[in-house]
Each structure stands twice: as C-alpha cells, then as structure tokens.
Amino acid sequence: LPLEERLQRRIIDGEKNGLEDDLAEALRDTPALDIVNNTLLAGMKVVGELFGSGQMQLPFVLQSAEVMKSAVAYLEPHMEKTDAEGKGTIVLATVRGDVHDIGKNLVDIILSNNGFNVVNIGIKQPVSAILDAAEEHKADVIGMSGLLVKSTVIMKENLEELNQRKLAADYPVILGGAALTRAYVEQDLHEIYEGEVRYARDAFEGLRLMDALIA
C-alpha cells in the first residue's frame, strides 16, 4: 500500500506495529500537522463510520484510538512551535460523562505550540472542577469539548451554571466536538449565555478564536 493509505489502515485496524517507521517516513516530506490532519484524522473518520454502522465493535474502536494517540505523541515533537509565550490561559476539559479526548488533546497541542498556557484538566469533568481550575489558574477562556449528543446538553447546563454564578462576563467559552453544530452554539447557546460563546470546528479555529478573544 502507498504510505498514506498504510497509515490510515493502521488507525482503522488498530495496528501499532511498524507505526513509527511509517510516521518517520511520512515526516521526510510532510509536516507533522498535515500528517495528523490529512491522513490520521481521515482514518479516525472511517473508524467512526464503521462503528456507527455497526461494522466495528467498541474494543476495536478503542484500539484505533490508542494508535491515534501514539501517532500524535510521536509526531508532536516535530510540530512547529512559535517562540511566543504567555499569550493567555485556557482551561480545557472534556465535559461530565464524556471520555473522548483525542480532539481535546489536539487542541491542547496546537494552542500550547502557539504560545497559550493550556490547563488541560482531562475527561469527564463536572462544571465545578472546570470553574475551580479556571479560578485557580486565572483563566482568560474556558474550553469545553464533548463528542456525545448528551454532552451538548451538559454544555448548555454548564453555561447556565456560569450565568448563575455571575461568571459569564469573566469567561468567554469555546466549545468543540463532533456532536455540536455551529448553529447550536452560535444561535441557541449564544442566546442563553450572558458572556461570549463560540464554536470551534477544529483545533485551528480554536486557535483563531483564542487569538481573537484575548486580543
């Protein structure tokens, strides 16, 4: 198989053997981030489709996720970094009840490499933990990720909690994850949240939003 297809196959099949050799080969003429965005994410997309249509069972999805994580860890040191530092702080979490973190961790990498201070508090985080971290680290922005449809409801509840605690003016919020839509965030949630709430389709939009919100 050609290299790109081989790498996608490794994600889909959850096959780690030989992964690093293939990634090293890909790095010879492709920037690390392009390998993630164009090749590896395409593999994860297929995994999602196979799982969604019942052609792939959960343990295999988990294996694919592990391979994806290993690949990103291998590529991370090869990603471009700016010299900028201390551009602002974001607390990043996957919301309560949701374990999906590959996207959140990519957002962490992209923002960190571009001079933001990222406080990544992990998965299944209740709003109280998010707010504690935001206060402790004097966050400029709160970022929430969630991939389950259920998580879109939790995000709404979290925004309501911020309203109730009169914290909306302090914390612009960036939301991301596959179950969200731009309209849900920028219309429905925008209507209820008393601060700024924005939708990031991918990690780069997250970066652009951070630059805009903090400027």
The reply to whether 53 belongs to the active site is no
Q: Does 212 bind ligand B1M (CB under 6 A)?
A: no
Contact between residue 139 and residue 171 where contact means Cβ atoms under 8 Å apart: yes
Residues 1-40 within binding reach of ligand B1M (CB under 6 A): none
Nearer to ligand B1M, 88 or 176 (CB): 176
Angle in degrees, CA 155, 157, 163, rounded to 5: 105
Supply the minimum distance, in Å, between the C-beta of residue 75 and ligand B1M. 13
Q: Residues 106-117, buried b or exposed e (16+ Cβ, 10 A)?
A: bbbbbbbbbbbb
Among 61, 79, 129, 214, binds ligand B1M (CB under 6 A): 61
Among 27, 46, 179, 214, binds ligand B1M (CB under 6 A): 179
The reply to whether 211 belongs to the active site is no
Supply the minimum distance, in Å, between the C-beta of residue 128 and ligand B1M. 18
Residue showing tokens 């489709």: 49
The reply to whether 151 belongs to the active site is yes
Looking at this protein, which amino acid is placed at residue 195? Answer: G
Q: Is the dihedral of CA 68, 53, 205, 214 positive or negative?
A: negative
Helix (H, G, I), strand (E, B) or coil at 60: helix
Among 35, 71, 95, 107, binds ligand B1M (CB under 6 A): 107
Nearest to 189 by CA among 151, 160, 150, 148: 160
Among 4, 42, 51, 132, binds ligand B1M (CB under 6 A): 51
Nearer to ligand B1M, 31 or 48 (CB): 48
Q: Does 102 bind ligand B1M (CB under 6 A)?
A: yes
Tell me how crowded residue 128 is: count the other CB atoms within 10 A of its CB.
11
Q: Does 133 bind ligand B1M (CB under 6 A)?
A: no
Expressed in angstroms, the distance from the first to the final Cα of the chain is 46
Sequence length of the chain is: 215
Among 14, 43, 143, 172, binds ligand B1M (CB under 6 A): 143
Question: H-helix or E-strand containing 51?
Answer: helix 41-52
Supply the minimum distance, in Å, between the C-beta of residue 112 and ligand B1M. 13
What residues are labeled active site? 98, 100, 151
Binding region for ligand B1M (CB under 6 A): 41, 44, 47-48, 51-52, 58, 61-62, 65, 92, 97-104, 106-107, 143-145, 147-149, 174, 176-179, 200, 202-203, 206
